[in-house]
Amino acid sequence: EIVLTQSPGTLSLSPGERATLSCRASQSVSSSYLAWYQQKPGQAPRLLISGASSRATGIPDRFSGSGSGTDFTLTISRLEPEDFAVYYCQQYGSSPNTFGQGTKLEIK
């Protein structure tokens, strides 16, 4: 199965700053079948991005996804207070679906 490694484990930034989160796959993810989710404490994950770069309905345009092959990135252009959460990547190019271990985005 494809192993996804997210980095950094924790990212400390201030509101208004730019956040760059990385997701690296142990083998190429076919067709850029990669999704990103946001999870806040006590809540279920929420889909942000599918197909590596397509924002889900209602997701602000400060969230963007990019990448292909084995390297993918989630960028939050200008952090809002509500963006501090844990972010997970998930690949669906190869069975089974697998998730990364998460990146915690915390307020500096």
The dihedral formed by the CA atoms of 38, 39, 44 and 48, expressed in degrees to the nearest 10:
0
Residue 83 DSSP class: G
Give residues 58-97 in contact with another protein (rule: CB under 8 A). 88, 90, 92-97
In the complex, least distance from residue 18 CB atom to another protein, rounded to whole angstroms: 25
Closer to another protein by Cβ: residue 67 or 102: 102
Contact at 8 Å (CB) between 3 and 96?
no
28 to 39, 51, 63: CA distances (angstroms): 26, 14, 23
* CA gap 106, 87 in Å, rounded: 11
CB of 13 to another protein, least distance (A): 22
Euclidean distance between CA atoms 5 and 63, whole angstroms: 20
Among 72, 98, 103, 105, binds another protein (CB under 8 A): 98
Q: Contacts with another protein in 30-59 (CB under 8 A)?
A: 30-31, 33, 35, 37, 43-47, 50-51, 56
CB of 3 to another protein, least distance (A): 12
Binding site for another protein (CB under 8 A): 30-31, 33, 35, 37, 43-47, 50-51, 56, 88, 90, 92-102
